[in-house]
Amino acid sequence: MDKNMCNISKNISNDGGESENEIELSNRIFSVESDEELYPIPLENHNEIVDFEDELDAVNINNFFHRVDSDQIIYQSKKKKLKLIGKYVMGDMLGEGSYGKVKEMLDSETLCRRAVKIIKERKIRRIPNGEQNVQREIKLLRSLRHKNVIRLVDECYNSEKEKKYLIMEFCAGSLQGMLDSTPDKRLPHFQAHGYFLQLIDGLEYLHGKNVVHKDIKPGNLLITLEGDLKISDLGVAEIIDLFAEDTSVQGQGTPTFTPPEIANGLETFPGFKVDIWSSGVTLYNVVTGTYPFEGDSIFRLFENIGKGVFQIPEDIEDPLRNLLLGMMEKDPYDRLTLQQIRQHQWFTRKPAKHGNVVPLPALKGDQWHNMTTIPYLIDHYYDLPNDDYPDEHFYTEHQLNEERKKYQKDHSNGTSQQSNSSKRRWKKPISCMTVRNFPGCKQS
Amino acid sequence: MAKYEAKTSSYKIISLLGQGFDGKAEVHLAKYLPTNEMLAIKKFDMDKIKEEAQLVEREIILTRQLQHPRIISYHLAFVNGPSVWVISSLMAFGSCRDLLSRYFNDGLPENAIILILRDVLDALDYIHKKGFIHRAIKASHILISATGKACLTGLRYACPMVVNGKWQKSIHSFPASTAGNLNWLSPELLEQNLLGYNEKSDIYSVGITMCELANGQEPFAGTTTTLMLTEKVRGCAPQLLDCVTFPRGLALESSGDCDSKSIENRKFSEDLHSVAELCMQRDAYYRPTAEQLLTHPLFKSHKKSMPLPDLLKPALPMSDRVAYNKDDVTNLDTINRLSQMEIYTCEWDF
């Protein structure tokens, strides 16, 4: 078995380098979701190296074909291989957008955290209107600059891989993520109020630029580390013609947040009012934890929205109740304008502080949202190549379970873990003195 | 403010002292014609600055807002064509970075460091109590007056700790246009995580600045930014280099232009080492405040020391050099000296 392991490790070191994180997995012996953390080595098939990319916690024992002792399942920690796109250091995945992965990046010149939207052109071409939408979004983003609208910082292109990299401001999470992290899927009113003000600021800027977002929803409202709200994903946004009347013709937003005029299939309707409606649904959702309209199917849902009749839970009182009714007025011409919302009583008066602030939910178990680029850099700068003794990078399932138990125990004790990422806990600590190619220790 | 006139004809530009703000601002030596007073004029080239105009605005407003003898004061600011002129007193020894580059390549003597450090901490204590974090403490932002008083500048990177009337426990904003200050910034500021940072971040920068003043160059100079980041995040604390921390036996392949002999032969006091160490602790919680640092024994023992201008010899204050020819700046000798200064004083960043 030891011999086998050595052979395998050779294989890994030979082709592990370029496997990267882009390989998509079909089912192998383990059907586990993935993260770039561990390499399992299948006992059955030594020649195949399976690439796993997920949290240890996701390992699902039930999916094994046959019983294996936990001591017999062997993992190798996958190296966090440093990858550069221009001057940017690639980090872990943050999420999946409509057109591709979103990952964290680090600007190596300013050391500012960034997020990158990776657009695979080959994939985009297969989506109807894909290329067009992407082009329009990029063009739009370039022209926008506001505190509450996500900013496109830089663009890179890899012609070989036909990949476009849109480098954006870094956000730590979305409003949707925050809602999901709470038991009743809602925020206290004073917190919702703070975000709503920012949403209206951002919307006012967009509308002033004749841009209708058309897909306002908690999932598209990102929150930065500073607590600023950024309107993102302008994939279906539309520029209203300055000289034509304010009428929009297409609707491709998210069904639950769609206004009656689109649900009813009207040919033209005032564009800006679409955003007012979906902002109303968003506010409704954030303060109640429910949606004003639901349906078993999109047809049922649209039917309900089309009638424009909905209930607001009893505990929502005026003036908030009144604001929601005004924003979700069925007739777009009767619906509140941004100016009216600004003057609304709920808008102008900050609600009393009831309840606790909902924090940004942890990202992959890291409540402090540490830079995910650091492990790649540490690996690059400090990890000595250890081809002779690869065994220290191998762990059995049994060991992992022990570690996990220990970790959970530590965690439940409430020990406030300092910011150091707990992910790399199996790495042998390497002292600063053994650093290779480190010119900084010397006085120049 | 009323004392100086807001028109360019009242000022005679004598020479370029240096550049700041990544070459987007120039500092000139000038004479105020109504009184023949020598002044420093900083000209911001707004065409080059463009999107960073906010920083200029913030710097001027905040500098005018903070009134402290150890913080540079702007007498006047006005717009002249595409540039913004800021008039301030002449800081005759220039910046500490300047002194290091020109006269003290291996660092300043300990007594000079202590005198400068005390002034900086005085200013910082004031800034922190006013609710701001400086975020750019470094030798090029410390100017020395003819009488040897250190003044803090570079307030365009500062940020308020008071937001919406509330004192924040931690700040998360990452300073804009900060590439030139990265080596001095604290690990927690660079980490940009949800824990954020507070005024203790400046204390870390004080520690780095102490190393810069003592060693002649800031730690991590010449290191790639990403390596500097990982080193700081891992808690690598830089040191003042002397015979204790830089033993003779330590062979260095590339010692560069630095004279390692003088480093091996000097010895900084225990107190100086200890203050630097206190400042550069990885965990901001354990770093002392500026006020606490000022009570450190280091500042009690130095009272009998020589005044700073004597310690800075052979460097001479600029006004002295010009004073001989106050009315006749066309004097060849002065021109020669000034033109020499132009070559070296590229770090006059105030």
| From B188, B194, B256, residue closest to A444, measured CB to CB | B256
Cβ contact (<8 Å) for B221 and A444? yes
B254 contact residues in A (CB cutoff 8 A): 439, 442, 444
Residue A217 annotated as part of some ligand binding site:
no
B227 contact residues in A (CB cutoff 8 A): 377, 381, 438, 440
Q: Are B294 and B118 spatial neighbours (Cβ–Cβ below 8 Å)?
A: yes
Interface test with A, best of B100, B220, B230 (most A CBs within 10 A): B230
Cβ contact (<8 Å) for B173 and A226? yes
Instruction: For B241-270, write each residue's pLDDT tens digit.
Output: 888 877 655 545 444 445 567 777 788 999
pTM greater than the 0.90 cutoff: no
Q: Does domain B94-311 have CATH number 1.10.510.10?
A: yes
Q: Can you tell me the distance from the alpha carbon of A309 to that of A396, in angstroms, rounded to the nearest whole number?
A: 58
Give the mean model confidence (pLDDT) for residues B23-34: 89
A107 as an active site residue: the answer is no
Domains of chain A: 71-172+410-444 (3.30.200.20), 173-362 (1.10.510.10)
Cβ contact (<8 Å) for A443 and B246? yes
- Residue A412 pLDDT: 55
- Residue B62 pLDDT: 94
Q: What percent of chain B has pLDDT over 90?
A: 57
Give the mean model confidence (pLDDT) for residues B149-167: 92
Q: Is B46 exposed, middle or buried (0-12, 13-18, 19+ CB in 10 A)?
A: middle
Instruction: For B189-221, write each residue's pLDDT tens digit.
Output: 999 999 999 999 999 999 999 999 999 999 999
Interface test with A, best of B163, B166, B193 (most A CBs within 10 A): B193
Indicate the pLDDT class of residue A269, thresholds 50, 70 and 90: confident
Joined together, the tokens standing for residue B278 give 């206190």
Return the ∠ at Cα B158 (arms to B49 and A143), rounded to 5°.
40
Interface contact B164, partner A, CB < 8 A:
no
- Residue A290 pLDDT: 93
Mean pLDDT of chain B: 85
- Residue A400 pLDDT: 67
Is it the case that residue A105 has pLDDT exceeding 90?
A: yes
Domain positions in chain B are 8-90+318-345, 94-311
Is it the case that residue A389 has pLDDT exceeding 60?
A: no
| Residue of A51, A215, A233, A275 marked catalytic | A215
Cβ contact (<8 Å) for A224 and B172? yes
Of the ranges A259-263, B20-24, B184-188, which one carries the lowest mean pLDDT score?
A: B20-24
- Residue A225 pLDDT: 93
Q: How far is CA A119 from the centre of its chain?
A: 15
Is it the case that residue A6 has pLDDT exceeding 50?
A: no
Alpha-carbon distance A169 to nearest alpha carbon in chain B (angstroms): 11
Is it the case that residue A268 has pLDDT exceeding 90?
A: no
Interface contact B54, partner A, CB < 8 A:
no
ipTM: 0.85
Q: How far is CA A270 from the centre of its chain?
A: 31
Alpha-carbon distance B310 to nearest alpha carbon in chain A (angstroms): 28
Q: Are B71 and B151 spatial neighbours (Cβ–Cβ below 8 Å)?
A: yes
Q: Are A268 and A239 spatial neighbours (Cβ–Cβ below 8 Å)?
A: no
- Residue B140 pLDDT: 93
Q: What percent of chain B has pLDDT over 70?
A: 85
Indicate the pLDDT class of residue A328, thresholds 50, 70 and 90: very high
Q: What class does CATH assign to B8-90+318-345?
A: alpha beta
